[in-house]
Amino acid sequence: MYTQLFGHYLLNNGIINSDELHAALTALTRIKVKLGAAAIDAGYMTAAQVEEVHELQHTMDKRFGDIAVEKGYLTEEQVQTLLTKQKNSNLVLGQALIDFGFITNTQLEEALNDYKNKSSLIDGNTEEDRMEREMIGILGISDMPDKEFYSEYMLLFIRNLIRFLGDDFSISGVSRNVTVSMNYACTQEITGPIAAKVAVGGTEHGFIGIASRYSGEELHETDGFTKACVGELLNLQNGLFAVNESNTHNIELDLKPQESFEKYMMNIPENGLCVELSFSFGDIKIAVLKEN
């Protein structure tokens, strides 16, 4: 989540433009090391153990390191060692911007110091809490009537995008009271004490990009398999949300089957939310409307 927050800070303060951030994020995909790969490289885990933890992340909203510790594959000390290395790799975004000539070392140093100072003013018991509060502010959720739902839902979605697609994206827009248009989309309804409708999609490149990343295959057209992959990601998100609501609030929810559309439009009133994300592979939108 650090990449999105620091990237948004750089954009918002006019230090870089959206094209420059997009170029840096594209470069980031070639060099960012995930925790599982780092664990294998360090000799802490086998490839089979890493794959098992990745599969378990499809059924529970937990970080890789937390699951690995529960399974006995890593110790807390080993997780901290890997996280320290991964945290340092977040500076790769800044290094990529420097390598492209978009900013200087001095500008990066000043930006990092200013960003850290501003972030430290945000309340939170842990760094993760502070980052989530900062993300809620960027998404404009704090003033919404159903802010608890939108906060829980969107923070989970962003965590899942990072886990299953990658963190090479920036938040390019947040809107309400709009008609959302997507060239390709998958939708699903959540029913029960909490009822909501969600649509995920965007441009053809964005839609195919979601499916390619999620399936781990190189896809080139919007066929049935591509649509099924995007639908499965949406079902995964909503399934984990339902599990969290059951575990945390004792609320039982159901999910309707996913549907796929071309030239899809969804009206988002003032009490709904549309978040636009720019990945290195293309642009996508997440439209969410709580209906009760």
Q: Rounded to an integer, what distance in angstroms lies between the CA atom of residue 72 and that of residue 87?
A: 23
pLDDT digits (tens, 9 = 90+) for 127-185: 778 888 889 999 999 889 899 999 999 999 999 999 899 888 999 999 999 999 999 99
- CA 272 → CA 26, 60, 140, 170, 243, distances in Å? 30, 26, 11, 21, 22
Can you say whether the dihedral through the CA atoms of 168, 172, 177, 178 is positive or negative? negative
For residues 128 and 201, which has the higher predicted lDDT (pLDDT)? 201
pLDDT digits (tens, 9 = 90+) for 20-55: 998 888 887 665 556 777 787 788 888 789 889 988
pLDDT at 248 over 80: yes
Task: Single out the residue of 258, 263, 197 nearest to residue 229, CA to CA.
Answer: 258
Give domain limits for the chain.
2-121, 165-290
Q: In this structure, are residues 174 and 275 in contact, taking their beta carbons and an 8 Å threshold? A: yes
Lowest-confidence range among 30-34, 72-76, 119-123, 253-257? Answer: 30-34
Specify the CATH architecture of the domain 165-290.
3-Layer(aba) Sandwich (3.40)
The one-character DSSP state at 114 is H
β-pair type (259-268, 178-191): antiparallel
Q: In this structure, are residues 99 and 116 in contact, taking their beta carbons and an 8 Å threshold? A: no
Of 50-54, 121-125, 164-168, 249-253, which has the strongest mean pLDDT? 249-253
Q: What is the pLDDT of residue 197?
A: 97
Q: Rounded to an integer, what distance in angstroms lies between the CA atom of residue 150 and that of residue 136?
A: 9
